[in-house]
Chain A
Amino acid sequence: MKVCYALVGALLASAAFIGTASAADLIAVITPSHDNPFFKAEAEGAEARAKALGYDVISLVHDDDANKQSQLFDTAIARGAKAIVLDNAGADATVAAVKKAKDAGIPSFLIDREINASGIALAQIVSNNYQGAQLGGQEFVKLMGEKGAFVELVGKESDTNAGVRSKGYHDVIDEYPDLKMVARQSANWDQTEAYSKMETILQANPGIKGVISGNDTMAMGAEAALVAAGRKDVIVVGFDGSNDVRDSILKGGIKATVLQPAYREAQLAVEQADAFIKTKAAPKTEKQLMDCVLINGANAAKLETFELKP
């Protein structure tokens, strides 16, 4: 019965759209806040591809709040979206929302972050964060000369990728007993928070030689704090492949980052949604891993908006 109501709702919603200028199908794009350029690039990638394929798009942000995300799913369902492209607000908390959409006949195509369930979303296209973190970790070890005191800045606890990257870093770094972690703190992916945390950490641990960060915005914050303290000698490595960090690498600031193919992932999700809407063909595999690429002085110049140009 629930399904019937949802169908009626969807019909009413689409009927309401007939009167408007565009009768195109709607794709909902739901991501974390666009304050972080990574999520902005992702949302823009999805939006651009969807529009090119002739869809209307609503782009919404959940601010990493699972309750808000649930409301946004209600909105997408009520508006009669044909598909949802989602970068989610929590690996466990999101399962119910995606299931709600599925029960209403709306498929979800996940990007960037996984959920801890399969068979509910039609696609989970995620960066191989672990592989990327290993690349970043190996570069960090090399830059550090396999020894010295370092700090780890961790991302938001609710984000599964914070844990995956930290694990990837440690699986590499912990094999070097002369590399000593003197502090490990979350700065919640946030630049300002990373700045103030780095200031405090530096006061307590003036002997540090390196900082490995779970993402680029935190790396930018840490780098700024180090520069302000006159510590340009400290090695900083980030993760994401943002234009900000690219510029810092080119100026000799941050030493390396790891590019996630975010723009491409978002586009791919839309292409798979389009195939499903038009032909009912689901992607061959739900869980799709895309490899990350190490960015350092050698290739930073080729990086633009989360894509490596040829």
Chain B
Amino acid sequence: MRWVGCAMALSLGILLAACRFIPTDQVSAIGAAGGTNGAAARDPDQMVASMWAAKVVPYFEKRAGPFLAVRDLAAKSPDEAGAKWGYRAKSEDTPWTLMVRIEGTIVAAETESRAGSIGVDASGRGKVDATVQIGPAMGGAAIRDALDFVSFGDFTNQIDFARFGKAFNTYVYHNTLEKLPRADIVGRKVTLIGAYALDSSGQPPLVTPVEITIGPKP
């Protein structure tokens, strides 16, 4: 019950935020705005809501590559895969964030934990090729880090930058993931576009979805 109330309050907040008028020049100026001022215009949820449909989704649709091809090239040559389907801020040691389209079957589901996820078989082997976060608790900032028009240098400090990163997760949860079915989903088809940070853990990548559809029961 507590969660439902919380979710309702949050959705209401997003609705209210969405009603506010944001001039488009201000939205596109996110890369140009000074680092130390403009606090009023920099509510992170509002920033994300205003750029989502106009900039974020089209960017992902254009840049995302077929998952298996991305994964396999990234294993051999991260820089090649990154240049083709990814982005990273230009400082040393920053991992690539890769953008992918996944089509597959749900072969595992973690819906007990609040860090909910589904395991997707994209190669037909019956094993998990990618783990996809479905919330409500979501980690990382893969969506923010995939965007080539967003830079840490445009934010006053790490906290502002972090809030902005988290706002993407909150947005996609309340607008998409929250509405996904949770019960009886193993065996169903899933298609999604999302992003993951390349790491060397050897585990299936942890993908944060931007758009996702779960099919009907087979």
> Interface of A with B (CB < 8 Å)?
91, 114, 116-119, 125-126, 128-131, 134, 138, 141, 146, 160, 163-164, 167-168, 171-172, 175-177, 261, 264, 268, 284-291
A290:B93 contact, CB within 8 angstroms: yes
B36:A118 contact, CB within 8 angstroms: yes
Bound-state CA distance A38–B158 (Å) is 20
Tell yes or no: B21 within 8 A of A by CB: no
Question: What 9 new A-B contacts, CB under 8 Å, besides A134-B140, A264-B93, A289-B158?
Answer: A114-B158, A118-B35, A125-B91, A160-B158, A163-B159, A175-B136, A177-B3, A284-B90, A287-B152
Bound-state CA distance A284–B92 (Å) is 11
Residues of A within 8 A of B94 (CB): 289-291
- Per-position 1/0 for B157-178, Cβ under 8 A of A: 1110110011000000000000
Bound-state CA distance A288–B92 (Å) is 8
B35:A134 contact, CB within 8 angstroms: no
Closest residue to A268 on the B side, CB-wise? B92
Which of these, B3, B36, B139, contacts A134 with CB under 8 Å?
B139
Closest residue to B95 on the A side, CB-wise? A291
Residues of B within 8 A of A138 (CB): 115, 139
Bound-state CA distance A131–B89 (Å) is 15
Closest residue to B140 on the A side, CB-wise? A134
> Interface of B with A (CB < 8 Å)?
2-3, 35-36, 89-95, 113-115, 136-137, 139-141, 151-153, 156-159, 161-162, 165-166
Closest residue to B91 on the A side, CB-wise? A288
Q: Which of B3, B35, B89, B139 has the most CB of A within 10 A?
A: B139
Which of these, B113, B136, B165, contacts A146 with CB under 8 Å?
B113
Residues of A within 8 A of B140 (CB): 131, 134
Closest residue to A171 on the B side, CB-wise? B166
Secondary structure dominating the interface of B: loop
What are 23 A-B contacts defined by CB distance under 8 Å?
A: A116-B157, A117-B35, A118-B153, A125-B91, A126-B158, A128-B158, A129-B158, A130-B159, A131-B141, A138-B115, A160-B157, A168-B162, A175-B136, A176-B137, A177-B2, A177-B3, A264-B93, A284-B90, A285-B89, A288-B92, A289-B94, A289-B158, A290-B92
Kindly provide the distance from the CB of A34 to the nearest chain B CB, expressed in whole angstroms: 25
Kindly provide the distance from the CB of B80 to the nearest chain A CB, expressed in whole angstroms: 21
Secondary structure dominating the interface of A: mixed
Bound-state CA distance A114–B157 (Å) is 7
Bound-state CA distance A177–B136 (Å) is 12
Bound-state CA distance A46–B14 (Å) is 47
Bound-state CA distance A140–B137 (Å) is 14
Given A175-B136, A261-B93, A287-B153, are A117 and B36 also a contact pair (CB < 8 Å)?
Answer: yes
Kindly provide the distance from the CB of B165 to the nearest chain A CB, expressed in whole angstroms: 8
Bound-state CA distance A91–B156 (Å) is 11
Bound-state CA distance A126–B91 (Å) is 11
Residues of B within 8 A of A168 (CB): 162
B3:A130 contact, CB within 8 angstroms: no
A175:B114 contact, CB within 8 angstroms: yes
Bound-state CA distance A148–B65 (Å) is 42
Bound-state CA distance A261–B94 (Å) is 12
Bound-state CA distance A234–B140 (Å) is 27
Bound-state CA distance A290–B152 (Å) is 12
A285:B139 contact, CB within 8 angstroms: no
A285:B91 contact, CB within 8 angstroms: yes
Q: Which of B157, B162, B165, B166 has the most CB of A within 10 A?
A: B157
Kindly provide the distance from the CB of B63 to the nearest chain A CB, expressed in whole angstroms: 22
B156:A167 contact, CB within 8 angstroms: no
Kindly provide the distance from the CB of B131 to the nearest chain A CB, expressed in whole angstroms: 13
Bound-state CA distance A91–B157 (Å) is 9
Kindly provide the distance from the CB of A263 to the nearest chain B CB, expressed in whole angstroms: 13
A164:B162 contact, CB within 8 angstroms: yes
Residues of A within 8 A of B2 (CB): 177
Residues of B within 8 A of A129 (CB): 158
Residues of B within 8 A of A288 (CB): 91-92
Residues of A within 8 A of B152 (CB): 287, 289
Which of these, B3, B91, B162, contacts A171 with CB under 8 Å?
B162
Kindly provide the distance from the CB of A265 to the nearest chain B CB, expressed in whole angstroms: 10
Closest residue to A130 on the B side, CB-wise? B162
Bound-state CA distance A261–B93 (Å) is 10
Residues of B within 8 A of A264 (CB): 93
Bound-state CA distance A130–B144 (Å) is 14
Residues of B within 8 A of A117 (CB): 35-36
Which of these, B36, B91, B113, contacts A289 with CB under 8 Å?
B91
Bound-state CA distance A51–B141 (Å) is 38
